[in-house]
């Protein structure tokens, strides 16, 4: 790269999926659980179980 080169936007990914998309999915789940209660959780368990949620603390 020369002195005039620049980097484009950074797109952090987790297992090949954009981190922003994962965060939006969890925000959607959170909103639905607030509205519908715990019974809505079963629909999202396959998605939730794929991720170690400790990364959200970053």
Q: What is the pLDDT of residues 1-50, one digit of tens each?
A: 788 888 777 888 888 889 899 889 889 988 999 999 988 888 888 888 88
pLDDT at 58 over 60: no
Pairwise CA distance, residues 31 & 8, whole Å:
32
Give the Å distances, CA to CA, from 13 to 37, 41, 48. 30, 25, 16
The continuous run of DSSP H or E covering 44 comes out as: helix 41-49
Tell me what pLDDT residue 57 has.
Answer: 59
């Amino acid at each position: 790269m020369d002195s005039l080169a620049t980097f484009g936007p950074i797109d952090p990914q987790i297992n090949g999926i954009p981190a922003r998309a994962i965060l939006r999915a969890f925000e959607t789940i959170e909103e639905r659980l607030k509205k519908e209660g715990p019974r809505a959780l079963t629909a999202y368990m396959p998605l939730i179980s794929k991720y170690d949620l400790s990364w959200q603390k970053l």
